[in-house]
């Protein structure tokens, strides 16, 4: 079984939470893409749902797979969001944004009654931080913002290692919102809540990839089967 097979299994299980008439948040990434594809099969078989994509890529996928889409402006409250994650830590804390869609993903998750995270078992970890934390920043004042983030990291005894994410041709990666991403190689984040607070207070930081208190259910597929973890 490949990691991609496991991602698809987790995505397939998430369909159990989908009911006719639901307004759904549609996540971004290879795992979420499986969900959108499988949801499209159900839609073609007659299921009536509508989705809010969390990226331009997912919008295109939803259209290709036949999932009707809307926006948060037209449907500001969603019942369920299904999304992937880069890491799932204690209490279903997450690192997200490996695919660069963290801002819309967090807005959509926060507008949802229930966020379900789907992943293969490699994403389930005892602590967050091995995956570099994506921090979305406005291009204006990049150096000043970068220095402020580095100082915040140092104040928490975290390494101030920040890398501007690059895309094709070595140019800065630009998010759907027109921002840049600084990836912070932290190793281990002992206190995600304190870090989230410090990052959110920095002018120029648009959003960060720590998703705390948002996911209620994790569906994790591994060699031994699919586990459902609920956050009470
Ligand atoms: O946060 C994300 C995109 O911004 C993705 O959900 C995350 O990167 C996981 O991706 P994948 O399912 O491809 O492993």
Taking the C-alpha atoms of residue 183 and residue 160, their distance in angstroms, rounded to an integer, is: 10
User: In angstroms, what is the span from residue 86 Cα to ligand 1's centroid?
Assistant: 6
User: In angstroms, what is the span from residue 87 Cα to ligand 1's centroid?
Assistant: 9
pTM: 0.97
User: In angstroms, what is the span from residue 28 Cα to ligand 1's centroid?
Assistant: 6
- Give every CB contact of residue 92 below 8 A, 6+ residues apart in sequence: 117, 215, 216, 217, 218, 229, 231
**Tens of pLDDT along 48-75?**
999 999 999 999 999 999 999 999 999 9
Which residue's CA is the nearest one to ligand 1's atom 8? 98
Q: How far is CA 41 from the centre of its chain?
A: 23
* φ, ψ dihedrals at 91, nearest 5°: 65, 20
Q: Which two tokens stand for residue 130?
A: 């091995």
CATH architecture entry for 3-125+212-223: 3-Layer(aba) Sandwich (3.40)
Q: Of all atoms in ligand 1, which is nearest to the CA of residue 105?
A: 4
**Tens of pLDDT along 110-155?**
999 999 999 999 999 999 999 999 999 999 999 999 999 999 999 9
Please state which of the four CATH numbers 3.40.50.1980, 1.10.20.140, 3.30.70.260, 3.40.50.150 is assigned to the domain occupying 133-206.
3.30.70.260
Is 46 labelled a binding residue?
A: no
Is 98 labelled a binding residue?
A: yes
Is 25 labelled a binding residue?
A: no
* Domain segments of the chain as ranges: 3-125+212-223, 133-206
**Tens of pLDDT along 80-109?**
999 999 999 999 999 999 999 999 999 999
Question: Which residue numbers are catalytic?
Answer: 105
Q: Of all atoms in ligand 1, which is nearest to the CA of residue 101?
A: 4
- pLDDT at res. 168: 83
Which residues does ligand 1 sit against, CB inside 6 Å? 27-32, 83-86, 96-102, 105
Average pLDDT over residues 222-227: 97
pLDDT band at 232 (very low <50, low <70, confident <90, very high): confident
**Tens of pLDDT along 158-202?**
999 999 999 988 999 999 999 999 999 999 999 999 999 999 999
Is-contact 58 26, C-beta < 8 A?
A: yes
Is 29 labelled a binding residue?
A: yes
What ipTM, to 2 d.p.? 0.98
User: In angstroms, what is the span from residue 100 Cα to ligand 1's centroid?
Assistant: 8
Of the chain, the percentage scoring pLDDT greater than 90 comes to: 98
């Amino acid at each position: 079984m490949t990691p991609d097979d496991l991602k698809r299994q987790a995505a397939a299980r998430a369909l159990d939470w989908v009911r006719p008439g639901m307004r759904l948040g549609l996540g971004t990434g290879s795992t979420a893409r499986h969900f959108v594809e499988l949801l499209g099969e159900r839609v073609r078989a007659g299921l009536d749902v509508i989705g809010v994509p969390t990226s331009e890529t997912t919008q295109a996928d939803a259209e290709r797979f036949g999932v009707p889409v809307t926006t948060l402006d037209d449907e500001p409250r969603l019942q369920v969001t299904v999304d992937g994650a880069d890491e799932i830590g204690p209490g279903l804390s997450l690192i997200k944004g490996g695919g660069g869609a963290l801002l819309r993903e967090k807005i959509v998750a926060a507008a949802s009654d229930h966020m379900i995270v789907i992943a293969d078992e490699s994403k389930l970890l005892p602590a967050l931080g091995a995956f570099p934390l994506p921090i979305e920043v406005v291009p204006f004042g990049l150096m000043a913002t970068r220095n402020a983030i580095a100082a915040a990291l140092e104040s928490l005894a975290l390494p101030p290692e920040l890398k501007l994410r690059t895309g094709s041709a070595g140019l800065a990666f630009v998010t759907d919102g027109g921002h840049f991403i600084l990836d912070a190689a932290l190793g281990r984040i002992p206190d995600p809540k304190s870090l989230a607070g410090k990052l959110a207070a920095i002018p120029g930081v648009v959003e960060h990839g720590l998703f705390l208190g948002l996911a209620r259910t994790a569906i994790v597929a591994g060699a031994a089967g699919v586990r459902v973890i609920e956050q009470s």
